[in-house]
Chain A
Amino acid sequence: DAGVTQSPTHLIKTRGQQVTLRCSPKSGHDTVSWYQQALGQGPQFIFQYYEEEERQRGNFPDRFSGHQFPNYSSELYVNALLLGDSALYLCASSLGGDFYEQFFGPGTRLTVL
Chain B
Amino acid sequence: QKEVEQNSGPLSVPEGAIASLNCTYSDRGSQSFFWYRQYSGKSPELIMFIYSNGDKEDGRFTAQLNKASQYVSLLIRDSQPSDSATYLCAVENFGNEKLTFGTGTRLTIIP
Interface string of A13-44 (1 = CB under 8 A from B): 00000000000000000000101000011111
* Residue in A closest to B43 when the chains form the complex, CB atoms: A104
Are A43 and B88 in touch, CB under 8 angstroms? yes
Are B98 and A104 in touch, CB under 8 angstroms? no
Indicate whether A40 sits within 8 Å of B103 (C-beta atoms), given known contacts A56-B97, A58-B98: yes
Are B34 and A42 in touch, CB under 8 angstroms? no
Are A100 and B32 in touch, CB under 8 angstroms? yes
* Residue in B closest to A105 when the chains form the complex, CB atoms: B43
Question: Which residue from A48, A100, A105 sits with its C-beta under 8 Å from B98?
Answer: A48
Question: Could you tell me which A residues sit within 8 Å of B by CB distance?
Answer: 33, 35, 40-45, 48, 55-56, 58, 90, 97, 99-107
Q: How far is the CA of A12 from the CA of B104 in the complex (A)?
A: 26
B71 contacts partner chain A, Cβ-Cβ < 8 Å: no
Q: How far is the CA of A40 from the CA of B49 in the complex (A)?
A: 23
Interface string of B59-103 (1 = CB under 8 A from A): 000000000000000000000000000001010100011111111
